Amino acid sequence: MENATVKIGIVGGTGYTGVELLRLLASHPNAEVVAITSRSEAGMPVAELFPNLRGHYDLAFSEPSPEVLKGCDVVFFATPHGVAMSMAKELMAAGVKIIDLAADFRIEDMQAWSKWYGMEHACPDVMPQVAYGLPELFRTDIQQAKVIANPGCYPTSILLGAVPFLKAGLVKLDGIVADGKSGVSGAGRGANVAMLGAEMSESFKAYGVAGHRHLPEMLEKLHQQAGAPVDLTFVPHLVPMVRGMESSIYMTLAQDVSQAELQSVLEAAYADEPFVDVMPAGSLPETRMVKGSNMCRLAVYRPEGGNKVVVSSVIDNLVKGAAGQAVQNMNVLCHLPEITGLQQVALMP
Amino acid sequence: MENATVKIGIVGGTGYTGVELLRLLASHPNAEVVAITSRSEAGMPVAELFPNLRGHYDLAFSEPSPEVLKGCDVVFFATPHGVAMSMAKELMAAGVKIIDLAADFRIEDMQAWSKWYGMEHACPDVMPQVAYGLPELFRTDIQQAKVIANPGCYPTSILLGAVPFLKAGLVKLDGIVADGKSGVSGAGRGANVAMLGAEMSESFKAYGVAGHRHLPEMLEKLHQQAGAPVDLTFVPHLVPMVRGMESSIYMTLAQDVSQAELQSVLEAAYADEPFVDVMPAGSLPETRMVKGSNMCRLAVYRPEGGNKVVVSSVIDNLVKGAAGQAVQNMNVLCHLPEITGLQQVALMP
Amino acid sequence: MENATVKIGIVGGTGYTGVELLRLLASHPNAEVVAITSRSEAGMPVAELFPNLRGHYDLAFSEPSPEVLKGCDVVFFATPHGVAMSMAKELMAAGVKIIDLAADFRIEDMQAWSKWYGMEHACPDVMPQVAYGLPELFRTDIQQAKVIANPGCYPTSILLGAVPFLKAGLVKLDGIVADGKSGVSGAGRGANVAMLGAEMSESFKAYGVAGHRHLPEMLEKLHQQAGAPVDLTFVPHLVPMVRGMESSIYMTLAQDVSQAELQSVLEAAYADEPFVDVMPAGSLPETRMVKGSNMCRLAVYRPEGGNKVVVSSVIDNLVKGAAGQAVQNMNVLCHLPEITGLQQVALMP
Amino acid sequence: MENATVKIGIVGGTGYTGVELLRLLASHPNAEVVAITSRSEAGMPVAELFPNLRGHYDLAFSEPSPEVLKGCDVVFFATPHGVAMSMAKELMAAGVKIIDLAADFRIEDMQAWSKWYGMEHACPDVMPQVAYGLPELFRTDIQQAKVIANPGCYPTSILLGAVPFLKAGLVKLDGIVADGKSGVSGAGRGANVAMLGAEMSESFKAYGVAGHRHLPEMLEKLHQQAGAPVDLTFVPHLVPMVRGMESSIYMTLAQDVSQAELQSVLEAAYADEPFVDVMPAGSLPETRMVKGSNMCRLAVYRPEGGNKVVVSSVIDNLVKGAAGQAVQNMNVLCHLPEITGLQQVALMP
């Protein structure tokens, strides 16, 4: 399949996940972007809105057209929540695979979904054909799915860091704390006083302490992976930087395990994974070590004198946390080598 | 005492705590800085090294002179660890009060101190005359002390957030997690590749996961305040900003307590404190809300569905976390109104 | 007059100049803020919108009330262009002095004003009672004025740097280039995609090359000060930081003058000015050296081998470039010592 | 030649140009890095010093070995000034092509070179075989050269912006002003208090006003391109960001030329250049539009009412300003398509 051309449609490409998809697909040898839609910007060349794309795309935003999208192999939704589910069935009927970068298909529990997203789900009957698009944990599902729910950025960083220890039975299922930190691009490209440069620069804050939509998503997937309900406290924070996400995950040991064993468990879990890198013992990842790349880098520690495991997990929230993971899912779906088009070296410094 | 003049010496003023002391003392009506010493910069006007002080100080750095320092009422040590303890007894004999912004007197357990700071303590016999300079928790001690151990920045933010709940018996003594985040000025003014702007900008990382010197300091003070040993996991992180510190503190409820009760406990604890501000229920502090000011701002949450208390605590690491708290301690020591010279409004934006 | 109380009204205090006025007035011994108005936020405590003010103000935003404002000694307009001129005459009739931080009264040439601000001026007949509020150049006018046009931030930094050389006849009137750079707070607190943290961080750009409203303002004042029309090319740039403005001003020598003479001319011009600081020969100002303070710091160079004078001028755009200068103007208007309430030391680091 | 393998040596790869070369060469289909040398880090894997390279390179730093380097097709010098000239002749004798990212071969005038770099040149006799590695202006020379002097970052951005107008005779040769702004990575990876994050963040400053090494380099190349000596005033500035460089170039029209004609001249000059992009009339480049890419983006304006041309030129100082341009030169030298390995899309946001 390595010479195959994948015809791609992108619905709603005027946000940061849209431009990042275009950046990555520009160097993907099998990708042909045939349409990128935007109601508000129809007619505008994508390279006018995002001048980094000048010289790489001649494409202009177009009105969403079912006909054009139905001619695609894969359609990415880089839209607000609620859009993908409204168009899914029509596209599926035409044989199109769907990758939703929003949250429409992330939670199987429809009641929980409705509570957190404040709307009725448009197509609960589609859920059996959905896979949760975290290839390192759900690759087999993805290969057979029609619809991919591309995970949230926090869940990506936290699940990759926590699951190996839960699966190995080394840590307790309760009392887990995940302290997440995200760059401001995670808040999207909408005009918003709180996200002005003059507001967010040189400041750090917690937010969403009372509850965040990524919590039910994580609880469900952790339950599936651990085989039992998991108790997790999650607090996100905003970092004065554009890209990058770090999650520090605190778990309680269920038995006495050495630092070296913890390191081995993590290395074994991801030995064959091209996009998860376990840092050498004694070192720690920094978000700049993954900037612009699809890597997740992990480190694990057992702080002296206690019974905690601490995992530090970093990703680029727009790549492994969004558009890069979406392309990785596309590669799995289309039976392409999973690393195709995703070997960018992180920009450092 | 409000018209009294306090003669002040500063030992080692070429770092960030030194310049911050000078900034604050410039608007302190009772402060007269008579000497600021630096071996490396002796002879250089302070305003040449720190041009923000141009027009405020004519003073130059001088060689440390015991005679001059002995003529002071208060001597601040803004030096590396190990300097204050080497000069303490001579100054105390001359009736000088000492405020050490480094760690020489922060830990009463001399064995723990030696382990973490890698040297023998020079004057264990001075420790009975030392108070830990966190006025909100140790004010009475400070009033009677000869030497003040100005707390670490992380301990300041974490103790102020955690102690009210421990004292009230509302939370368990074990399983506490403190996830701290600091701006880069906390690393000091030494040349250091890892702290270059090109290295730390636009990146976020955990550090010191295996162990950090502020941990034994916090464990000792938490033990004293709670009346029993406390189990704390502490992970510091570096934020790409100059000033500011946020600590998210996760504790487990010992009983069923509502969000409103938690809010009340915190408000009651600090009702009379000029430098601790409990944010209104439902809001969260940001580090910019304290930038340049001596305030600590706190919020407390009980996330839905769990048994955790989460406290978010913010300070300016150079003010309430260092020089501002030192001036507050000086005010207490010298029987001046505690807010004297410390009413700067935070710079926002 | 040093014990006088100045009753102050602020119209439109929800932007950055509003909160900065409040920050500065909080430590002004003669200032009593009796009202701060906002149509959109009427009823909200100012400390809720700007939590840095918690503990400093009990005041809430109120609907603009002519009665209340007429009872003030001074009313500041921290509003969009066009508001101050619509209320000026009514307030003047009641004996209120007006300080407009917007542009309504900055340009005497009403035709130029209308062209650049896109509206008819509401009260051209008031202009004779207006002074341009740059005290270092127009102090006598300000003392006698009823209305103060608080200068633009770029004009403040550029006029202070250029005028001494023009007045001394040392530089040519044509071919002047002013390359200005501003932090993002200069763009205001309005929601705006281009000013999002994710857009402006880690990027630098020129803007307004085709024309900027501060150009006609500068041309008029330069003409007045030089006694003849001046030819100036001005290009503003956006710097990825919150506060601070630097202008590099390039002028052509009209005669052969040494670097030392240029230094002397600048030092002589501002020898008695508390808010203009000429840096020592051989050094250069940085914007952080004035952050949060009302200082303008200047340096002058004659680069080797050419006939150019280069001046680097830095201010905090929100202080000397806006709210601080407004308070300085209030002090002049009210016959208070000009430095009252304005001796903040810049925050560095 | 498209399937050729170019054997590459890198001397001195522990700085930012070194890691950036490795980043770019990792995706260059014809590049084989056979050695990267460092005296101080010999033995350390490059991916340990620069973890963004983990998974991309197994190579370790090695002691510089003439034998190994002589087996290369091309050797890049990412060293301090003075190193390349000391090894050039030996490598040239072995048939190796040299690309020096430092300044050893940038200035033909040996007297000027010695004055600005403070040392005697080691091999003036090599200069006839040197080409100045700005392919857009000196491509033919490069194709035939043995040694490439990779240009300084400021000269790259300023020459590309100014030369078309000088060559066309549209602007005067005197009174040119270039106001340059660079991100802090331009200062290199050496420990240095002035470049600490706590020093450079949230601040902007001019530097090197009295004289900068890039000035004689620009004067010589401008003279060559314009056919007559050019008078240029150049002031560099430091921007609080990691990567990116903007130069605003002010020239005086020699005749009356419209904005549209200026746009046409620039577009014509670079119509066939893959790495110079003339922005559409009315728009302006931002440094983020080239971050991580080898593009130079330009805009030209004639501000209303004057006789100046203003050009805004942006590059990534580490790519088109250093390592990217070096790879572009390698492609020219090795008769590979010039864009090979250099089609990275800029990272935006």
DSSP assignment string, A280-347 = PTT---BGGGGTTS--EEEEEE--TTSSEEEEEEEE-TTIIIIIHHHHHHHHHHTT--TTTT--PPP-
Can you list the positions of beta strands (E) in D143-244? 147-149, 176-182, 205-206, 232-238
Looking at the structure of chain B, the number of domains it has is: 2
Give chains near C: 3+ CB pairs under 8 A.
A, B, D
Please judge whether B349 and C27 are an interchain contact, meaning their C-beta atoms are less than 8 angstroms apart: no
CB contact under 8 A, C51 and B297: yes
Secondary structure (H, E, C), C37-105: ECCCCCCCEHHHHCHHHCCCCCCECECCCHHHHHCCCEEEECCCCCCHHHHHHHHHHCCCEEEECCCCC
* Length in residues, chain A: 349
- C-alpha span between A10 and A41 (Å, rounded): 14
* Greatest distance between any 2 Cα atoms in chain B: 63
Residue with tokens 């590669």: A331
Pairwise CA distance, residues D297 & D290, whole Å: 7
CA dist list (Å): D134 to A115, A199, D101, D286, D327: 60, 41, 12, 22, 11
Residue with tokens 């608007």: B27
| B211 three-class SS | coil
Cβ contact, residue pair C191, A187, below 8 Å: no
**What's the pLDDT at B305?**
84
CA dist., res. C165 & res. C269, Å (int): 9
CA distance C96 to C119: 25
Q: What is the pLDDT of residue B3?
A: 72
Buried b (16+ CB within 10 A) or exposed e, B192-221: beebbbbbbbbbbbbbbbeebbbbbbbbbb
Beta bridge partners of B130: B147
Q: Are residues B92 and B230 in the same domain?
A: no
Do the beta carbons of residue C262 and residue C279 sit within 8 Å?
Answer: no
Q: How far is D186 from chain C (nearest CA, A)?
A: 14
Please report whether residue A196 resides in a domain. yes
- Reading the block at residue B338, the tokens are 């505690």
Q: What are phi and psi of A173, to 5 degrees?
A: -85, -10
Chain segment D84-94, per-residue pLDDT in tens: 999 999 999 99
| Positions of E strands within B78-173 | 97-100, 130-132, 147-149
How far is residue A147 CA from its own chain's centroid? 15
Q: Nearest CA of chain C to the CA of A150: how many Å? A: 22
Distance CA A331, CA A282 (A): 34
Residues of D in contact with B240 (CB under 8 A): 197, 201
Burial B49-80 (b: 16+ CB within 10 A, else e): bbbbbbbbbebbbbebeeebbeebbbbbbbbe
| For range B51-78, the mean pLDDT | 96
Distance CA B87, CA B65 (A): 11
Question: Cα(B275)–Cα(B136) distance, rounded to whole angstroms?
Answer: 9
Q: Looking up tokens 């119509």, which residue turns up?
A: D271
Output the pLDDT for position C3: 72
A296 is catalytic: no
Backbone angles phi, psi at D218, to 5 degrees: -70, -40
Segments forming the whole domain that contains residue D76 = 6-151+320-333
The 10s digit of each residue's pLDDT in C106-163 is 999 999 999 999 999 999 999 999 999 999 999 999 999 999 999 999 999 999 999 9
pLDDT at position D162 is 98
Question: A9 forms bridges with which residues in the sheet?
Answer: A35, A75
Backbone torsion region of residue C74, taken as left when φ is above 0, otherwise alpha when ψ lies between -120 and 50, otherwise beta: beta
Whether C1 is in a domain gets the answer no
Same-domain pairing of C139 and C227:
no
**What digits encode the pLDDT tens for the residues B95-107?**
999 999 999 999 9
Pick among C185, C189, C195, C196 to test the A interface (most A CBs inside 10 A): C196
B346 part of a folded domain: no
Percent of chain A predicted with pLDDT > 70: 99
Is A349 part of any domain?
Answer: no
A242: distance to nearest CA of chain C, Å? 5
Residue B342 lies in a domain: no
- Report cis status (omega within 30 of 0) of the bond before B349: yes
Chain B residues in contact with D240 (beta carbon < 8 A): 197, 201
Q: How far is CA D213 from CA B314, D115, D235, in A?
A: 45, 10, 11
If asked whether residues D112 and D247 sit together in one domain, one would say no
CB A156 within 8 A of CB A211: no
Contact by Cβ (8 Å): C258, C307: no
Rg of chain A on CA atoms, in Å: 20
Q: Which chains are within 8 Å of D by 3+ CB pairs?
A: A, B, C
* String of DSSP letters for A237-267: EE-SSSS-EEEEEEEEBSS---HHHHHHHHH
Q: Are strands D308-315 and D245-252 parallel, antiparallel or unpaired?
A: antiparallel
Angle at B239 between CA B235 and CA B241, to 5 degrees: 150
**Residue A181, domain member (yes or no):** yes
Report the CATH number at residue D34. Answer: 3.40.50.720
What DSSP designation does B194 have?
G
**Residue B240 shares a structural domain with residue B93:** no
Give residue D1's pLDDT band: very low, low, confident or very high (50, 70, 90): low
Helix axes D110-117, D214-226, angle to 10 degrees: 160
- Please report which helix (H) or strand (E) contains residue D85, including its range: helix D84-93
Using a 10 angstrom Cβ sphere, with 0-12 exposed, 13-18 middle and 19 or more buried, the burial of residue D254 is middle
Q: Which residues of B touch C (CB under 8 A)?
A: 16, 19, 22-23, 26-27, 48, 50-56, 185, 189, 201-202, 242-243, 274, 277, 279-280, 283, 285-286, 288-293, 295, 297, 318, 343-349
Measure CB to CB from residue A196 to each of C197, C202, C241 and give the nearest one: C197
- Set of chain D residues whose Cβ sits within 8 Å of the Cβ of A48: 280
Query: Please, how many CA atoms are within 13 Å of residue A242, restricted to the half-sphere of its CB?
Result: 23
Query: What tens-digit pLDDT sequence spans chain A (349 residues)?
Result: 557 899 999 999 999 999 999 999 999 999 999 999 999 999 999 999 999 999 999 999 999 999 999 999 999 999 999 999 999 999 999 999 999 999 999 999 999 999 999 999 999 999 999 999 999 999 999 999 999 999 999 999 999 999 999 999 999 999 999 999 999 999 999 999 999 999 999 999 999 998 899 999 999 999 999 999 999 999 999 999 999 999 999 999 999 999 999 999 999 999 999 999 999 999 999 999 999 999 999 999 999 888 999 999 999 999 999 999 999 999 999 999 999 999 999 999 9
In the prediction, which pLDDT does B2 show? 57
How many Å apart are CA B336 and CA D250, to the nearest integer? 58
What are the pLDDT digits (tens) for D3-14?
A: 789 999 999 999
> Residue D217 domain-assigned?
yes
CA atoms within 13 A on the CB side of C292: 20
Q: Which two tokens stand for residue A86?
A: 């409204």
Task: Please give the pLDDT value at position D304.
Answer: 86
Look at residue C222 and tell me if it is in a domain: yes
Average pLDDT of the residues of chain D: 97
- For chain B, give the mean pLDDT: 97
CA-only gyration radius of chain B, Å: 20
Report CB contact under 8 Å: D179, C175. no
pLDDT in tens, D131-189: 999 999 999 999 999 999 999 999 999 999 999 999 999 999 999 999 999 999 999 99
User: Would you say D136 and D276 are in contact if contact means Cβ atoms under 8 Å apart?
Assistant: yes
Give the ipTM of the model, two decimals please.
Answer: 0.97
**Same domain as A236, residue A311:** yes
Does one domain contain both A164 and A299?
A: yes
SS3 A162: helix
Q: Which of D207, D209, D284 sits opposite C205 (nearest CB)?
A: D284
Q: How confident is the model at residue D305 (pLDDT cuts 50, 70, 90)?
A: confident
Mean pLDDT estimate for chain C: 97
Regarding whether B249 and B172 lie in a shared domain, the answer is yes
Task: For residue B16, give the nearest of D191, D197, D198 by CB distance.
Answer: D198
Q: Based on the domain organization, do C28 and C167 belong to the same domain?
A: no
- As to burial, measured by CB atoms within 10 angstroms (0-12 exposed, 13-18 middle, 19+ buried), residue D45 is middle
- Residues C261-281 have pLDDT tens digits of 999 999 999 999 999 999 999
The number of C-alpha atoms within 13 Å of D72 and in the hemisphere containing its C-beta is 28
Per DSSP, helices labelled H in chain C are: 16-25, 46-49, 66-70, 84-93, 110-117, 135-144, 153-167, 197-200, 214-226, 259-269, 324-333
Please list every residue in chain A whose beta carbon sits closer than 8 Å to the beta carbon of residue B244: 202-204
Residue D60 neighbours by CB under 8 Å, 6+ apart: D42, D43, D44, D45, D46
**Inter-chain CB proximity A244 and B287 less than 8 Å:** no
Using CB atoms within 10 A of its CB, is residue C273 exposed (0-12), middle (13-18) or buried (19+)?
A: middle
A153, A152, A172: which is closest to A162 by C-alpha?
A172
Shared-domain flag, residues B187 and B282: yes
Domain containing residue C236: CATH number: 3.30.360.10
User: In what side-by-side order are the strands of the sheet with B245-252?
Assistant: B205-206, B232-238, B176-182, B245-252, B308-315, B296-301, B276-278
Cβ neighbours of B198 in D, within 8 Å: 16, 183-185, 187, 189, 195, 242
Nearest CA in chain D to C312: D206
Residues D198 and D76 in one domain: no
Cβ neighbour number for residue C57 with a 10 Å cutoff: 18
B229 and B265, same domain (yes or no)? yes
Search chain D and give the residue with CA nearest C174. Answer: D306
Average pLDDT for residues B67-93, to the nearest whole number?
A: 97
Question: CB-CB: which of B199, B205, B287 is closest to A284?
Answer: B205
What gap in Å lies between CA C104 and CA C116, rounded to an integer? 11
Q: Is the pLDDT of residue C2 over 90?
A: no
DSSP string, D234-263: EEEEE-SSSS-EEEEEEEEBSS---HHHHH
Same domain, D130 and D244: no
What is the pLDDT at residue A1? Answer: 53
Q: Which is it for strands A308-315 and A245-252: parallel, antiparallel or unpaired? A: antiparallel
Residue B1, pLDDT > 90, answer no
Query: What are the Cα distances from residue B45, in Å, to B59, B62, B322, C281?
Result: 6, 9, 23, 15
Q: Suggest the residue from B50, B196, B242, B318 to mutate for an interface test with chain D (most D CBs closer than 10 A).
A: B196
| Angle at the Cα of A36 from the Cα atoms of A32 and A42, rounded to 5 degrees | 145
